[in-house]
Structure 1
């Protein structure tokens, strides 16, 4: 049964500018800096890097909110000497307003570089530029740590900071994730991450078609309003020499 008095006191729908700002805040954690995408569309990165002579590209699409806000990402990367170098490009759309950002990324595993190392750690850093509107560049610095208590289980933790493009405002980044391999084909991932003052919970899976090609899917809830989102991505690793 409808409550007419309640309906009369409900606030009017916010104007377009307000909805664009609110939706943009939801995507701040996703688009603050390119290094956030190092683990596909998942927010919490692992400490691993590509093997020498290997390259990969990651591409994914995500949607969040009712309006909705969407993002498309593509990011190639290659192992160059002791580090992994990448380039990230993102196109975001919120209520008909579009933004294109991009920038370089560097990742170095300084402890436990072997694929089966029980404990490993890395540093990941990158810059992001607004390619349509210019302004001050943003960036990110993160320390990913991975612990493998079991052959089928990996636990990841991230500690670092983001600098927002345009303003340069600094916010802390922290997150944790668990990745469990059911078999060689299917893995499940659950994570909790805080970026740009917003918490996001995400659960999903990774499905490997071959040892070098995989598909990621996930569902998320962001912020105090628990705004729901979905994302799907494709990862392909290959040899360049």
Structure 2
């Protein structure tokens, strides 16, 4: 979620990217989203949990981010919790909060069309627990077994001020085989556009690694993220 600027001494690309990074890192709970900005409409199967972890950096300064996010399927919804630590030029920001995702249309894994609603709240832990939030509607269309197209629309509420900004994005996910998928996306959050391309590599049926490169904002700030996703049963 978008949050307040950590300091006025950070120059523009890093200052502009930091709230965007917070928004991106804190947003994803769904298992197929990983660290990618555009989420899909899928949720975990009944009786399943997962954890996601990723680390990213952008720019030569750099701005870095660390994310940890466990989640479990509980009844018809997926419940999770996100923890994100962002750093730039010695300034650290920590945001954390609960997440909920409900697939209300096309819940089957192979459904040709599915839709969900994702809700989240975050709290700026280092600045008195000031709250923010997010609402996203992810839609997934599967025109072929190997191809998925994802669309997101929603909004973010900044911690502290409560200022609302729109969020939107489109992504294509192409499975080369059972172990490798390529993902390309274009998204807008906190008033800034980001283009991202990367891949998902399955080490086992329940463990995967994500890697991506991105360009953010009108000055084309480059970024890189690597993530780990692990799904497991809890009952």
Is TM > 0.5 for Structure 1 vs Structure 2? yes
* Matched residue, 2:3: none
Q: Is the 8 A contact 1:180 1:189 kept in 2?
A: yes
- Taking structure 1 as the reference length, the TM-score comes to 0.91
Instruction: State whether structure 2 residue 124 is matched by structure 1 residue 130.
Output: yes
Provide, for residues 172-200 of structure 1, a one-character-per-residue CA deviation record: whole Å limited to 9, x for no partner.
Answer: 00000000000000000000000000000
* Matched residue, 1:112: 106
Instruction: State whether structure 2 residue 15 is matched by structure 1 residue 24.
Output: yes
Larger radius of gyration: 1
State the shift of 1:28 in Å: 1.8
* Matched residue, 1:170: 164
Q: Is the 8 A contact 1:180 1:188 kept in 2?
A: yes
* Matched residue, 2:183: 189
Change (3 A) 1:37 1:53: closer
State the shift of 1:128 in Å: 0.6
Give the 4+ runs in structure 1 shifted more than 6 A: none
- Taking structure 2 as the reference length, the TM-score comes to 0.93
Q: Is the 8 A contact 1:32 1:164 kept in 2?
A: no
For 2:110 and 2:45, locate their aligned partners in 1 and report how far apart those are by CA, in whole Å.
13
Provide, for residues 31-79 of structure 1, a one-character-per-residue CA deviation record: whole Å limited to 9, x for no partner.
Answer: 1273345411100000000000000000000001111000000000000
Q: Is the 8 A contact 1:24 1:69 kept in 2?
A: no
Instruction: State whether structure 2 residue 199 is matched by structure 1 residue 208.
Output: no
Please point out which of 17, 21, 27 is paired with 1:35.
Answer: 27
Q: Which residues in structure 2 correspond to 1:1-241 (within 5 Å)?
A: 17-19=8-10, 22-32=13-23, 34-36=26-28, 38=30, 39-241=33-235
Provide, for residues 198-219 of structure 1, a one-character-per-residue CA deviation record: whole Å limited to 9, x for no partner.
Answer: 0000000000001100000000
RMSD: 1.3
For 1:190 and 1:167, locate their aligned partners in 2 and report how far apart those are by CA, in whole Å.
33
Q: Is the 8 A contact 1:20 1:95 kept in 2?
A: no
Moved more, 17-26 or 223-232: 17-26
Q: Is the 8 A contact 2:29 2:99 kept in 1?
A: no
